[in-house]
Amino acid sequence: MHHLTRAVIFDMDGVIIDSEPLWRKAMIKGFSEYDVAFTEDDCRKTTGMRLNEVIHYWHKLFPDKLRDKDAVKNSIINDLIILINQEGKAMSGLLEILNYIKQNNIKIGLSTSSDHILIETILSKLEIIHFFDEIISAQHLKYGKPHPEVYLVCAEKLNIHPMDCMVIEDSINGIVSAKAAQMNVIAIPDREQINNVKFNIADGIISHLSELKDFIILN
């Protein structure tokens, strides 16, 4: 059953901006300030989770060092904002695909685990806020990904049935979230994840945003 694509909903980190390396830098720096030695692989364990959940995950392992969870969070966010403003770059092909979707009168949503301050920082840095009909952060929702709430709320606000929505995701948590919302999911894994078989639950796998055109059903 192929449904017309009535809305395309983007995840943010790793999908519209190449921010995963910046997240890893900010987390390694933030945790090291609290004497927790942290590797890039450690960062990957929590990709797609809300920052509060990431800190909770590590707090359980290092309760003495990471006592003040809010301070850790603020430190990471402040570092990340600086990095985004200095180094943030759109994912290759982003503007072309956003223009293509808009020209075909398909609605565009954003559903992210990131906090509002990061959404604002990224969308203004990339100068793309005007493309989005709805922007939903899981920050203040009851559940984060892999729960489907952030995608279901976005579809409801767009006034589009979830089955008519296509989602672009780069993390397993995000793919599970969108599939649970009964949406069509296209994965764009980062280079290190390209052979991870877990991505096979997606409806399609692409290596560049321009390939999205092949999956969008116009009529």
| CB atoms near residue 206 (< 10 Å) | 18
Residue 57, CA distances (Å) to 12, 35, 51, 216 in order: 22, 16, 10, 37
Residues taking part in catalysis: 11, 13
The predicted model scores a pTM of 0.93
Helix (H, G, I), strand (E, B), or coil: what is residue 111? Answer: strand
Greatest alpha-carbon span in the chain:
58
Residue 158: per-residue pLDDT: 98
Return per-residue pLDDT of the chain as tens, 219 residues. 567 999 999 999 999 999 989 999 999 999 999 999 888 888 888 888 899 999 999 999 999 999 999 999 999 999 999 999 999 999 999 999 999 999 999 999 999 999 999 999 999 999 999 999 999 999 989 999 999 999 999 999 999 999 999 999 999 999 999 999 999 999 999 887 888 899 999 999 999 999 999 999 997
49 in Cβ contact with 43 (< 8 Å) = no
Q: Which of 108, 105, 132, 109 is nearest to 219 (CA)?
A: 105
Residue 2: per-residue pLDDT: 64
